[in-house]
Each structure stands twice: as structure tokens, then as C-alpha cells.
Structure 1
């Protein structure tokens, strides 16, 4: 009897662990068209952290990321920090060419401010100046193909700490032809990417390749678990599967894992759509309402705060494992 009970307990434990390791299977309506839709946005073009450090083999990494994007074959809006086009104040033609590669591949380019500045630190007047400075190359680059920048993404997703500031910024953006690109599937992708870049920079060692492989293989299920979490949040808050907006960055990790991530989302029944299509959902008319804090949470959580949802509404969000944060050299997401 004791052996039978022990086996039963072990089976329950094994089943729990197995389900914990797999993202949940979520319901969707069977009407011939997937109700799960998602738009991809990629920040910090031409390359993440390029203003902080040299990226060894940057042309090769850029080519690998472009190859991943081609393989994935999804609409993308890339958001540019023009400060990363410069070295000692001089625009580098090879970095501008990286943007041309995005444009020529059919991806839309938006404004992410010149220097990736924090609105809550620099204040509204300086932030407006950063937006205009962030289109000095971008606007003529797009004009070569008869286009204009029309999407804006707040660095750190910090959109203003008062309704007045948010309204003033919205009026400024509208006057300059921009729409705000929200984020609903927020995540710690940047932590995984920092860890990956840090391991890449190591002198070759016996465990270097194994650690890179472990990061790549762990990154994809982490991101899919985040996707599942925010779909549940959408259902709980809005009563339907909101067309999501996914946040990622131009970095070495996505240069090796982006297409696998897209494949994983497709296996869950997601259809990849343009940012324009995703934002046709009426929920996006809420804008950034409901959040006056210093950080930059998902728009879904901003709307939940506007409805004064209890603390337990936000429970269950997947987090970056500590071993990844240790490799990234950060204390949290």
C-alpha cells in the first residue's frame, strides 16, 4: 500500500512538473480564421547596446538577423535610435545601410528617439527634442521610397507620469504624423540577450558553446510562456483574445533564435499581422490610461490598473531564471 501511494504521489508530482514546463494550451474560436493574432516590433535599431559597446562582427550578426527575419516571413516594425548610427558624432554609412536593409526587405521603420532617453528622467521638452532629433536620418531615408515614419515607441515604455504629460505628448506626436506603438506582450527578452552577448564575449572555453546553446533553447519557451500569460490576461480583462503586440530587440540572440520563436507561436495557432491590423481592435483606443508610475508595464496591465484590478490579477507572470540574470549581470527584469 505504501509503495502504491508513493508511486501515485510521484506520478502526480511528475505530471505537475511536466505541465509547469509546458506553456498552457489556450482556447480559441474555431471560425476558420485564427483568433490569435500578433504583431512583431523590434526595438533599438540598428543594433541593441551599440551606443554602449562595440559589437564584434556586427556586419555578420546583422546579416544573420536579416536571414532570421526572412525565414520567419512576418510583418515587422523596427524602431530606430539614430544615436546608434554615429561614432563620435559622425554618422556611419555602414550603419545607415543596415537601416536600408530593413527598409528594402519591406519592414517598416519607426522612431524610438535619438538616444533612447527616459521621458520620466529628461522631461517633456527634452523628450520632444529627442523625437525630432531621432528622425534626421530616418525621414529622408524613408522619403527615398515615398514613405514617412508613422510609428513611435517610447523607450523603456515610459509614456508619462501624469494625464497632462501624456496628453501633451500625444498631441505633439499627432502633429508630427506619429502613432504610438503600444506593447502588450512585455518580457525580459533583453535580459536573455544581455546574457547571450556576455557569454559570446568570453574567451573560448569548454562550456561557452554549451552555455550559448542553453540560453538559446531556454529563451524560446520563456517567450512563449509570456505570450500565453498575456493571452490569459487579455481574456480575463477584455473577454477576448486581443491582437497582441510583441516587444523584441535587434540583438545577437534574435539573430539565432527569432525564426524558432515565430515557429513556436505559429504552432500555438497565432497568425502574424501588421501593427496596423492589430491596432484596429477597439481596446487600443484606451491608449496609455490608468498608469502614473515610473516604470513601463504592458498596456494590458495599464488598462487593468485603470479598472483597479486587485493585486492577484497580475499573478503568475513568468520570470527570467536567476541563472540567466546572473549571466546578464542584472538584478531583475
Structure 2
């Protein structure tokens, strides 16, 4: 008995540590391939920036799926072989590709019929490209994460996607990564080469990683509060200049947080994802964790504490909000 009592504190400590362990898994999804903002800015060194992103992805050594906008493969209505080659580079590296519509269309603004037409147009290059390798597109990502303004719209789209062999790629870790990336690209494209420019770019890289980690921490807490466990997260990012400079460090820092990177397919095997995009009917596209919280009528306080993009970054990005 005395021996048992002596060992009891160690036993309790072991149980406490075991109970505190969290199965942290996360899948990376990258939108707007072959490159974000091609409809606004086409840098002269686009191929060099793409090569830098591919190098960052290879260095990170994690599963990735990219989502393609078909119109970004064209110039004046003509498909550009160099841009299609950018997609081949993704496939050559072993990454998956999915459909992000042709024009990055907002389903909630344009409605179901127009969206379905635009979505199928997004297959014109993607489907034959994948067929070259014996593959077919199976994942789609809603632009702006907007999945339908009504339950009826979402149900109609669910039928449509199933008919065409697609699964919806959810997002749980939503974030303002695109704001940081706008800021980074603006500085790269608009400021002359100088020590001040390099200092600003360095500040953006330095701030980006902890901001993204804080977002992951926030949504982990949301999952624990809502589901009682850490759901395998799905992280939203974009093909842009910032990730071409900082993606590998972001992945390394996330691993130091205790996360294991998994494929999108593995992440969505979790039963929570069977709920789909239920819970929200409106203009915007919130995280699926927040959609599920809305379905359970969680109070406003539940959503408090989400990290925000700093004002100085928003100023550089030339945007008023996330």
C-alpha cells in the first residue's frame, strides 16, 4: 500500500499528461492557381516567383492540394502553355489539383445556374491535364468559401458536385493570409529596390508566421470547445509571393507546435466533416467550424478572440478589411 501511495503522484501525472495530449493534424490547401492576382498584376518574373514557391513546397515536404482558376491560364482568351506548365510542375512534384471555378465566381452573388456553368468551364484545361496521368478532378473549393445563400442552394450544389464526381474541400482555419500576401506583393511590385524595401519585406515575413500560428491556435480552441477534440484542420492559403518566401518556415513552425501534416483526404475522414457546410445562410463564407457553431446556436461570445491582421499590414495591402 505504501508503495502504491508513493507511486500515485507519478501515475496521476502520467494520466494528466496523457489527457492533455492533443492529436494535432492539419491539411494544406492552396487556392488561385496558377498564381493569385493574375487578373490584376502579371509580374514580368512570374516564372521565377512560381519556381520560388515550388522550391518552398519541396523544402516543406508536406502533402498539398492546389485549386485552379481556369481563366488564369489564358491571355486574351488563349490558353498559355507556360501557365499550363506551371500546373504540370505541381503534378510533377506529387501534389493534387482541384477545381476552383473558371473565373473565381462568387456562388452567393451569382446564383446556382451561373455558378454551375462557370464551374464546368473550369474543367476545360484541368480535366484533360489530369487525364494525361490517369487522374480526374475530385475536389472543388468554393471561391470566397461561399457555399450557397440558402439550404436549398447548398442542397442543389451538393447534388451537382456528386453528379460530376467532386467533393467539397472545406476550410476550418480561415485567415487573412491573402491580406499579408497583397501587402507583400504590393511592396515587391511598387517600391524601388532599396534597404527600406527589403526591411519592409522582412517585417512582413517575420509577422506572417506568428499571425498564421495564432490563427491555428484559435481554431484549435474553437474545435475543442465545439466538438470536444481537435478536429483535423484544413488550412486555407494561396499561390502568392509571400508563400514563395515563407511557406517552409511556416510549416516548420507549425510542426514545432506539435502538428502533423496530412492530406486533405485524410483530414476529412473525420466524422465532423459529414455535417457539410450547414449552419450559415448569408452573403459570406465563414470557417466550417463557425458554420457548425451557428448550427448549434452558439452565442456571440463563442466567436470572440480571433486574431486580426495588423493595421499596418492592411495599409500596405490597400484593403479596408479581411
Please report the TM-score for the alignment, with normalisation by the length of structure 1: 0.90
Kindly indicate whether the alpha-carbon contact (under 8 Å) linking 1:229 and 1:316 is maintained by their aligned counterparts in 2: yes
Kindly indicate whether the alpha-carbon contact (under 8 Å) linking 1:77 and 1:109 is maintained by their aligned counterparts in 2: yes
Q: 1:295 aligns with which of 279, 284, 294?
A: 284
Aligned length: 305
Q: Does 1:266 align with 2:255?
A: yes
Kindly indicate whether the alpha-carbon contact (under 8 Å) linking 2:22 and 2:230 is maintained by their aligned counterparts in 1: no
DSSP 3-state at the match of 1:43: strand
Q: 2:121 aligns with which of 105, 108, 133?
A: 133
Shift of 1:250: 0.2
Kindly indicate whether the alpha-carbon contact (under 8 Å) linking 2:67 and 2:97 is maintained by their aligned counterparts in 1: yes
For structure 2, which runs of at least 5 residues remain unmatched after alignment? 1-15
Shift of 1:30: 4.5
Q: 2:156 aligns with which of 160, 168, 189?
A: 168
Per-residue CA deviations over 1:229-288 (Å, capped at 9, x if unaligned) read 000000000000000000000000000000000001100110000100000100000001
Write out the 4+ residue segments of structure 1 that deviate beyond 3 Å after TM superposition.
28-31
Kindly indicate whether the alpha-carbon contact (under 8 Å) linking 1:34 and 1:270 is maintained by their aligned counterparts in 2: no
Shift of 1:123: 1.1
Kindly indicate whether the alpha-carbon contact (under 8 Å) linking 1:43 and 1:250 is maintained by their aligned counterparts in 2: yes
Kindly indicate whether the alpha-carbon contact (under 8 Å) linking 1:182 and 1:245 is maintained by their aligned counterparts in 2: yes
Q: Give the alignment's Cα RMSD to 1 decimal.
A: 1.3
Distance 1:177 1:30 in 2: 41
Shift of 1:205: 3.4
Matched residue, 2:46: 58
Kindly indicate whether the alpha-carbon contact (under 8 Å) linking 1:29 and 1:35 is maintained by their aligned counterparts in 2: no
Q: Does 1:284 align with 2:273?
A: yes
Q: Does 1:74 align with 2:62?
A: yes
Change (3 A) 1:265 1:30: farther
Q: Does 1:254 align with 2:243?
A: yes
Distance 1:112 1:208 in 2: 33
Q: Does 1:232 align with 2:212?
A: no
Matched residue, 1:49: 37
Please report the TM-score for the alignment, with normalisation by the length of structure 2: 0.93
